[in-house]
Amino acid sequence: MSIDLEFAIKKDIRNNPVIREVDTQQKREFQQTVTIVALVVAMLLFWAWPHLEVMKSGYKIEEVRQLLEDATARNRHLRLELETATAPQIVDERARRTLHLVAPTEKDTIILELVQPARPTNTVVADARRAGGGQ
């Protein structure tokens, strides 16, 4: 025996909005909490900002120091290269090897002596200027 029983249950649902009164005490406490949290966050930001700027400056200083060390090492290397390239022995050797130059002999050497030129006889203006008489 099978008995089919159907039940229909009706629930009375009211869709009327619930109107609550504004709790001024709770609203004031929430505003105070938000204000305190905002102040704490602002204080932390004002403390952290300069600290982070100091750290960034420190990193930049270290980077510039490293660049200076690299430039100084490069400068030393280039000066050593220059001194090596302009050393008289190396220049002489390179001139003999690549340009096939030879050292001059006494026959090829001319010695010039410095001779004072003779002064003309009418140097009155030049003598007066040397003596301090005019400019």
Structural domain includes residue 1: no
Total domain count, the chain: 1
Output the CA torsion sign for 75, 77, 80, 84. Answer: negative
What's the pLDDT tens digit per position in 82-128?
998 889 999 888 889 999 888 888 888 888 888 877 766 666 655 55
d(CA 81, CA 92): 17
Structural domain includes residue 96: yes
Task: Give the range of the structural domain holding residue 54, as residue numbers without chain letter.
Answer: 24-102
What's the whole-model pTM score?
A: 0.44
What's the pLDDT tens digit per position in 44-55?
999 999 999 999
Structural domain includes residue 50: yes
Structural domain includes residue 74: yes
What's the pLDDT tens digit per position in 10-25?
777 777 777 778 889 9
Structural domain includes residue 60: yes
